[in-house]
Structure 1
Amino acid sequence: MGCKGCLQSVIVSDEYIQQLVKEQLQLETDLVDDQTYHKRLQICKNCPSFFYGNTCSHCGCFVQFRAKLSYKTCPFPNGSKW
């Protein structure tokens, strides 16, 4: 199955996601603390819009990346869950 924004497969390994997040976060300066990050991830993991163990079906992002950015919110249509 393709992702929301392209035809790439959304089935990727946890190692790949962790490496991608690590590399991309080096470019960011506005990050949440680890406690907030883990709280956000837990909310995402319990959301019915969480797919493939890494993807938000509303925006197509890897939640491990979005949850770490302080200027991002949850894209749930009825209002942010975090």
Structure 2
Amino acid sequence: MQQRANGCKGCRESVQITPDKLQRLVDIATRGRAAATDELYAQRMAHCGRCPDLQYETTCRYCGCLVAVKARLLDSVCPCPLFPKW
């Protein structure tokens, strides 16, 4: 996957993460915190998946977070400054 021209200048392909590691990070982040339901999580991920500011299919351009982690946390919000998607 190539870096987008308007993407994060510090990011390279080496920042890509495996699905297993991503799931471990989600599990760690949600320990002791309220997690979004599977339905809400799926809705949030669908919005992020269509977002032109999703980088490497995992990372939000605006906040630098892994969207799978951010979307799973119940109290999270979309960081898009113009029009939050969720």
Given the two structures, how large is their TM-score scaled by the length of structure 2? Answer: 0.79
For 1:24, the aligned partner's letter is: A
Equivalent in 13, 16, 36 of residue 11 of structure 1 = 16
SS at match of 1:67: helix
Q: Percent identity between the aligned chains?
A: 36
1:12 CA displacement: 1.4
Between the two proteins, the alignment pairs up a number of residues equal to 77
**Distance between the aligned counterparts of 2:25 and 2:36, measured in 1?**
18
**Distance between the aligned counterparts of 1:20 and 1:32, measured in 2?**
15
User: 1:2-81 counterparts in 2 under 5 A?
Assistant: 2-3=10-11, 9-28=14-33, 30-81=34-85
Given the two structures, how large is their TM-score scaled by the length of structure 1? Answer: 0.82
1:2 CA displacement: 3.6
Q: Which of the two has greater helix per residue?
A: 2
Structure 1 residues without counterparts, runs of 5 or longer: 4-8
1:2 and 1:10 in contact (8 A); partners too: no
Runs of 4+ in structure 1 deviating by more than 2 angstroms, as ranges, are: none
Q: C-alpha root-mean-square deviation of aligned residues, in Å? A: 1.8
